[in-house]
Structure 1
Amino acid sequence: MLVATEYLPDVSAVLQQYVIPFLWKAAGALVLWIIGGILISGAGRVVRHAMTARGIDPTFSHYVNSALSVLLKVVLLVAILGIFGVESTSFAAVLAAAGVAIGMAWAGLLANFAAGIFLVVLRPFKVGDAIHGAGVTGDVREIGLFATTVDTGDNVRVFIGNNKLFADNIINYSANPVRRVDMRAQLAHGVDATQVAAALAARLLQIANVAANPAPQVGILEFNAAGTLLYVRPFCNNLHYNQVADDVQRVIAEVTGGLPVPAPHHVEHRA
């Protein structure tokens, strides 16, 4: 019992000199992290609302907001380390050394970050555009710091690395006011292709959301074993592409419904 009591003053001194001050610092760091997180979220909302009020493009607004959030969290982390007595100069040196190591290990991630900057600055597309890139077709939902979010036509969300997307050919279906719908109509031998083409052209203009300028195009594409193959090409806004494509198929079926069924014909010549 005497031996145990000899260590009690030492334990009390350790608690008062090291443990309790550390717990106070940890509590202060926790409070600072919570309050700082709330302030950073508030600053992000203020910046986002200010950009929206000034009519700044949502793509650029989201990107700036993400970058600002990361920067402020780094500053908050430096402030928390200062509570524990870590000097900012020492932290900067450690951060620089870590940056070199991270840069070598995460070269692909940094490439995605750089490509994201180019996507925002060069603007091959923006949020809301329908695109095809890196083997994915869909609507752009967000251009992030490292990846672009795309929702496909079957309602699947795909995250594409910015570097992979930027390095690929990007098809922007929303860049121009209208796009062409390519359909075909097969006619049988003996059917007047010119008359059918004129009837189709007139009916295409009656389809909802078909553009009058440029006018729908209908003509002979080729002559094949089944007869005459027509191309049917109306124009519409990308938002109405699927609806117009379905209606064009219906119109082709209605116009050619009473005509002979096309079928391959083979002619044999015998000596």
Structure 2
Amino acid sequence: MEAITNWLSENSGLLTHYAIQFVLALIVFLVGMRLAKWCSKLTEKGFAKRKVDKAVGSFCGNIIYALVFIATILMALSQVGVETTSFIAILGAAGLAVGLALQGSLSNFASGVLIIILRPFKSGDYIEAGGKAGSVRKIEIFSTELNTPDNKIIVMPNSSIMSGAIVNYSREKTRRIDLVIGVSYDADLKKTKEVLKSVLDAESRLLKEPAYTVAVNELADSSVNFVVRPWVNTVDYWPTYFDLMENIKIALDDNDIGIPYPQMDVHLHKTSE
């Protein structure tokens, strides 16, 4: 007993030092735990305010919690004198291995988060992306489902969508119909223009503003090409497009204005033997 008392007396300074370090490490750990929970909740609230899918917010909140928690443990161990360099190296190597193994999935996940945050399109929009086109049926973390006009389902990885240009045909309320109408070089251009305008004026679905455009665009090899560019509501685009094509053909036929086939003039020169 006397030996223990003497040892404690001789090492009281060292014990006090370690006790203080232990208390500081415990404080760091407790504060770090509270900080991790606070950061996690703050992340989830931030995603919720931006109306991001709840699953994405929860997942990102858990990732933030794990990162802060690991940092807290390393700081607490460092406080009591434990060398953390080797732990950091092991964690770095493990993280690199996992990242390489899940490279494709992580890329799709990151792209899915960007789609949900940036909202280049929403469910129901008709888009063209990654070489495919269709109506967005479902947006998930790793993939997006498109429904094509012929009722096919396309499941696209989110990374292939975000890696290129995205064309959203549904975001704006109005769209312009672009038609190119070729007529014969023998046709009366003024009369042709009036016929095209009469067809547009008779179509009730066209918008008054912006006004439509009818103009000669090109003197092509076989025809004089007019551009016909009216504006419609997006929901009326395809029905109006199809009806205009039919009505323009009928009106041109009624006014004897020809739509020529591609043709080539061949000139023969007779030479003496």
Q: Tell me, in whole angstroms, the C-alpha distance in 2 between the residues paired with 1:106 and 1:128.
A: 30
* Mapping for residues 168-207 of structure 1, pairs under 5 Å: 168-207=164-203
Query: 2:134·2:149 contact (CA, 8 Å) conserved in 1?
Result: yes
State the secondary structure of the residue aligned to 1:118.
Answer: helix
Structure whose alpha-carbon radius of gyration is higher: 2
**Which residue identity lines up with residue 116 of structure 2 in the other structure?**
V
Query: 1:225·1:266 contact (CA, 8 Å) conserved in 2?
Result: no
Per-residue deviation, 1:206? 2.8
Query: 1:221·1:229 contact (CA, 8 Å) conserved in 2?
Result: yes
Q: Tell me, in whole angstroms, the C-alpha distance in 2 between the residues paired with 1:188 and 1:115.
A: 51
Distance 1:117 1:146, change over 3 A: same
* Mapping for residues 133-172 of structure 1, pairs under 5 Å: 133-172=129-168
The residue number in structure 1 matching 2:107 is: 111
Distance 1:159 1:71, change over 3 A: farther
Q: Tell me, in whole angstroms, the C-alpha distance in 1 between the residues paired with 2:165 and 2:59.
A: 31
Query: 1:178·1:235 contact (CA, 8 Å) conserved in 2?
Result: yes
Q: Tell me, in whole angstroms, the C-alpha distance in 2 between the residues paired with 1:161 and 1:211.
A: 38
State the secondary structure of the residue aligned to 2:240.
Answer: helix
User: Structure 2: any 5+ residue segments left out of the alignment?
Assistant: 1-47, 63-91
Q: Tell me, in whole angstroms, the C-alpha distance in 2 between the residues paired with 1:270 and 1:222.
A: 31
Q: Tell me, in whole angstroms, the C-alpha distance in 1 between the residues paired with 2:163 and 2:108.
A: 10
Query: 1:197·1:219 contact (CA, 8 Å) conserved in 2?
Result: yes
The residue number in structure 2 matching 1:10 is: none
Q: Tell me, in whole angstroms, the C-alpha distance in 2 between the residues paired with 1:136 and 1:152.
A: 9
Per-residue deviation, 1:167? 0.9
Q: Tell me, in whole angstroms, the C-alpha distance in 2 between the residues paired with 1:224 and 1:100.
A: 60
In angstroms, what is the RMSD of aligned CA positions?
Answer: 3.2
1:244 to 2:243 alignment: no
Q: Tell me, in whole angstroms, the C-alpha distance in 2 between the residues paired with 1:189 and 1:267.
A: 17
**Which residue identity lines up with residue 248 of structure 1 in the other structure?**
L
Per-residue deviation, 1:112? 0.8
User: Structure 1: any 5+ residue segments left out of the alignment?
Assistant: 1-50, 73-95
Q: Tell me, in whole angstroms, the C-alpha distance in 1 between the residues paired with 2:230 and 2:169.
A: 15
Per-residue deviation, 1:156? 0.9
Query: 1:180·1:235 contact (CA, 8 Å) conserved in 2?
Result: yes
Distance 1:238 1:204, change over 3 A: same
The residue number in structure 2 matching 1:41 is: none
* Mapping for residues 116-131 of structure 1, pairs under 5 Å: 116-131=112-127
Q: Deviations over 1:172-219 (max 9, x none)?
A: 112222222222222122212222223212322432432222122211
Query: 1:66·1:144 contact (CA, 8 Å) conserved in 2?
Result: no
Per-residue deviation, 1:260? 4.4
Per-residue deviation, 1:101? 4.7
State the percentage of identical aligned residues.
Answer: 28
Q: Tell me, in whole angstroms, the C-alpha distance in 2 between the residues paired with 1:208 and 1:130.
A: 24
State the secondary structure of the residue aligned to 2:202.
Answer: coil
TM-score by length of 2: 0.60
Q: How many residues align?
A: 192
Query: 1:204·1:251 contact (CA, 8 Å) conserved in 2?
Result: no
Per-residue deviation, 1:150? 1.1
Q: Tell me, in whole angstroms, the C-alpha distance in 1 between the residues paired with 2:113 and 2:241.
A: 36
**Which residue identity lines up with residue 198 of structure 1 in the other structure?**
E
Query: 1:198·1:218 contact (CA, 8 Å) conserved in 2?
Result: no
